[in-house]
Amino acid sequence: MAQEQDTQHALMIPWGYFAREIGLVSGIEAVKLSQKIYEHTPQAKVIEFLVATLSGAKYLQDISLAAHPLDKDLAVAEAWGQVGWADYTGVSRALKHLSWDEVRAIVAVLESISKPFLDSESAILRSEGRCLQYDGDLTGLPVSNTSRTYPNAAYGHMSDEIRLGYQAAVVSFQSPNYGRLWLSVEHHAGDTVSCTQAEELVLAAEKRSGQHPKRRTELLQKRIDDFAKSREPAEKRLSSQQAALETAQQAKVDVLAKLHDAQEKPETKPKHIQTLERRGLRYEKTIEIALKKLGKTQLWLIAHFDDEKALRKRLEQFERENAENLQPIEACFRLDAGFGTYENIALIIEMGYELYVKLHNHKMVQKLKQSLTPETIWTHVGNNAEIVAWPGTQLQNCPYPLDIALERFYTGKTQKHSALAHFGNTAVTTDLPAWFGKYNARQTIEAGIKETKQVFYLHRLKVRSEPAIYLQEAMTIFAANFIRWATVWIVEHAEHNEDTLPVGKMGVKKQVQVAANTSAKVIQNSEGRLLRFSAASSFAGKQLFFRAAGKPPRPNHFLPFFTILALIAQKLR
């Protein structure tokens, strides 16, 4: 006999069954949380928080106070393996009392669920001989400037303003079947700046993907050798300064001795004594200056030796990593100007990546502009952008030669310039439009950040405990990935006919804001489950049918699965 239920969150139903199939629900339920259990377990409230995130809830109170409250939707609860949902106040209390260790355990579950999907996409790229493409960025999560209840919030640059809040460091990955997938998110105070986070972004990507390129130890070794030679002038200067100091000190001793003898002799003229006193003062001044010069050189050498020690330690680490890395990957990182310091550039090069970045040093833009002549030829690369480039350019303070490009473009009537840099095997200076397009394709991560804020409302922090804020960040990027994976699963498992809801043709935004917040009837019998959208919904007449396990599929007009997959991937990008 058929069982029928009404839901106001239609697409949350198949998402729930998908979540159970991939072990997401059971994984969260297995995490130990030290909270008292009343009607609902704390694990169930964490799952409810994830479901609310997937539904695009702007505020935590929307769970109970929205026009169609999630906590009243028992069909969704059943799909997610729950007997019911807690009131939003209970969810809030549960999140508030989560410790850092508990949150990290929950995030570890999200990461373990993600790993097979990420590994599969990476394996496809490697089998096709394609480079893994990573993008990194830092995005601000502002709160009210007058708030005093957000722990460790700090003022920093957020959307071209100085705001109170936090920063989230994120890395995305371009996959062949799902388009953009999030790899990692790290939580930081609001005053964190991009130039301090480049290495952390790369390491986070490597940790999540479990793979990395071959380290360029030969370049690093040469850098160390050159670095060691560069201190030779300072060492010679140190020797001469020590000699000069000793000479001045001895001269002072000599003149003081003469002054003492002269003062002991009554026949010594006062003018001679005054001359010796002035000479002694001059030697004191000479010694003072010599000590300052010597101290400055010594400090420079100490810092130099410390830097060399750090580079040698890095070399030892990279040599070990190369010995252990039996299957190095080819990978590329794209970063904006905030990360583009020379030290960051050098490090990422040494870590083995092809690098596309804008230079952090604004003075370089001025130097490049000054090098232009009336004969300089600009290449048109975009609607309002032109580029001139120099291959293999050795910049001061950068240990490795870079491909450099000066870009000029208009924003309204204002002409602006920026400097692009590249390191890698790609001959970017022979095809400037391709270089421009490759770098600007990093807009995919900017679009992803926009999606986290406009679809999942990450910028509206739903909690005030810092561990819970990090959990919201992690759940948001997981939700964006989850929907892409679930889309393919739905297309693969649902029966297809003219009435089937075309989930594969919907973007994430439409799935969340429309399909996951519309009414439908859930009908279940021995044949399977049917999700029939109500006549009052925007999907009136559409349905999703999932046949029960072991039941043969009904005849229908299937598209080949990989054709469907390709269409979905194109839509989700």
The tens place of each residue's pLDDT in the chain, 573 residues long, gives: 679 999 999 999 999 999 999 999 999 999 999 999 989 999 999 999 999 999 999 999 999 999 999 999 999 999 999 999 999 999 999 999 999 999 999 999 999 999 999 999 999 999 999 999 999 999 999 999 999 999 999 999 998 899 999 999 999 999 999 999 999 999 999 999 999 999 999 999 999 999 999 999 999 999 999 999 999 999 999 999 999 999 999 999 999 998 888 888 888 888 888 999 999 999 999 999 999 999 999 999 999 999 999 999 999 999 999 999 999 999 999 999 999 999 999 999 999 999 999 999 889 999 999 999 999 999 999 888 999 999 999 999 999 999 999 999 888 888 899 999 999 999 999 999 999 999 999 999 999 999 999 999 999 999 999 999 999 999 999 999 999 999 999 999 999 999 999 999 999 999 999 999 999 999 998 889 999 999 989 999 999 999 876 565 544 433 444 444 445 455 555
Whole-number Å distance between alpha carbons of 143 and 153: 8
User: What distances in angstroms separate CA 327 from CA 176, 193, 214, 457, 459, one per listed residue?
Assistant: 20, 34, 9, 39, 39
Q: How far apart are the first and last CA of the chain?
A: 42
Whole-number Å distance between alpha carbons of 107 and 31: 10
Closest C-alpha to 103, from 23, 28, 201:
28
The residues near 224 (Cβ < 8 Å, ≥ 6 apart) are 308, 311, 312, 315
Report yes or no: 501 and 533 within 8 Å, Cβ to Cβ.
Answer: yes
pLDDT of residue 461: 96
Whole-number Å distance between alpha carbons of 128 and 137: 27
pLDDT of residue 424: 97
Helix 466-493 × helix 100-127 angle, to 10°? 40
pLDDT of residue 130: 93
Alpha helices, DSSP H only, in 351-465? 362-370, 432-440, 443-454
Q: What is the 3-state secondary structure (H, E, C) of 502-523?
A: CHHHCCHHHHHHCHHHCCEEEE
Please give the model's pTM, rounded to 2 decimal places: 0.89
Name the maximum alpha-carbon separation found in the chain: 132
Whole-number Å distance between alpha carbons of 359 and 214: 25
Q: How far is CA 31 from the centre of its chain?
A: 26
pLDDT of residue 478: 98
